[in-house]
Amino acid sequence: MTIDSQAEAFLEMLVAERGAAGNTYAAYRADLEDCEAFLGGRRTLLAADTPLLAAYMASLKDAGMSARTQARRLSALRQFYLFLLREGRRADNPVAELAMPRLPKSLPKYLSESEVGDLLQAARDMAGLPALKVVAGLEILYSTGLRVSELLALPAQALSTDAAVLLVKGKGGKERMIPLSDTAKAAAAQLRAAVAKSKRPARYLFPGRDVRQAMTRQGFALLLKQVAMRAGIDPARLSPHVLRHSFASHLLAHGADLRSLQKLLGHSDISTTEIYTHVLAERLEKLVQGHHPLAL
C-alpha cells in the first residue's frame, strides 16, 4: 500500500536518526497505513484534523480492538504529528489532546526460581547441538536479562574472554554493560566448541541451519517449548521474554533496586521498569511480617 509522502519521511527518520529496528519500522508503518485507510481520501494524513482523527480512534474502539492496540496506534500518530510540527510542516499536533485509552494493569509473567532450575536441568539432560544451544540460551538470558533479539545477534566470539561484563547494543542502538556469570560463559564456550566442528565457521554464537546466519527467534522459541515439556512446565508459560521477566523479578526479590535494574534491562524510562514493583511490594510485606514486633 502506498502511503503519504510525509509519513514516508517520518519512517525514514525513525531508521536514520533513532535506529529503529525492522519490527518497529513495520509496526509504525502499519499503524499509519491503517489511519490513512480510514481517511479514505477525504483528507491526507498531513491535513487530517482533530475531529477526524478522534473519529478514527473511536472506530478502533467500536471495532473491539484492545486498549493496548488502540494506545499503540495513538502513540504512533502522536510521534508522527510531533515530527511534522518540528519540521515545520504543520503548526499543531492534532492528536495531542486525544486521551490515551486506559490500559488494564497486567503483571509480568515470570517463573519461580525452582522452575528455572528445573528448566536448566532438563536442558542439560538433552543431547546434541540443540541441547547446547538451549542450555547456553537459558544461562545467558536468565543471568543477563537480554532480549531474545540481543541474544541471537551475539557474535561467535561473544563471552569468550575473561571480561566480567558484556557490552550489548539494544533498542535504538543504545549500548549497555551487563555483568556476566561464569556459568553463562562456560555454556557459551561449550556451544562455540561444538559449532566450531562444522565445516564452515559461524558468524554468530547461536547459528541457524545456515551457519552464516543467526538462529531465528522462532527456532529458539521452539527449543524453549521442547525443554519446557521435558521439565514438566506448560510450554505456553515459557518464552524468551518470560525469562527476561524472571531475571528482573528474581533480582528485585533478592534486594536489587529499580534504578540498577533499569540499566541492566536497557529501559530508557524508569516507568517501564516499574512494572516489577509488585515484587518489591511482596518483599516488603514479608519483611514487615517477619520482623515487625507487632506482626502476627
pLDDT digits (tens, 9 = 90+) for 141-158: 999 999 999 999 999 998
* Confidence (pLDDT) at 197: 85
| Per-residue H/E/C for the chain | CCCCHHHHHHHHHHHHHHCCCHHHHHHHHHHHHHHHHHHCCCCCCCCCCHHHHHHHHHHHHHCCCCHHHHHHHHHHHHHHHHHHHHCCCCCCCCCCCCCCCCCCCCCCCCCCHHHHHHHHHHHHCCCHHHHHHHHHHHHHHHHHCCCHHHHHCCECCCCCCCCCEEEEECHHHCEEEEECCHHHHHHHHHHHHHHCCCCCCCCECCECCCCCCECCHHHHHHHHHHHHHHCCCCHHHCCHHHHHHHHHHHHHHCCCCHHHHHHHHCCCCHHHHHHHHHHHHHHHHHHHHHHCCCCC
Return the higher-pLDDT residue of 22 and 230: 230
The question of whether 244 is a catalytic residue gets the answer yes
Query: 29, 73, 133, 147: which one is catalytic?
Result: 147
The question of whether 241 is a catalytic residue gets the answer yes
Query: 171, 230, 278, 283: which one is catalytic?
Result: 171
Per-residue pLDDT band for 120 (boundaries 50, 70, 90) equals: very high
Lowest mean pLDDT among 32-36, 52-56, 81-85, 285-289: 285-289
Q: Work out the average pLDDT over 3-12.
A: 87
pLDDT digits (tens, 9 = 90+) for 71-102: 999 999 999 999 999 999 999 999 988 988 88
Q: Work out the average pLDDT over 187-208.
A: 89
The pTM score is 0.65
The question of whether 276 is a catalytic residue gets the answer yes
* Confidence (pLDDT) at 55: 94
The question of whether 29 is a catalytic residue gets the answer no
Domains and CATH numbers, the chain: 5-86 (1.10.150), 113-287 (1.10.443.10)
Query: 72, 217, 241, 278: which one is catalytic?
Result: 241
* Confidence (pLDDT) at 290: 64
Query: 29, 73, 192, 244: which one is catalytic?
Result: 244
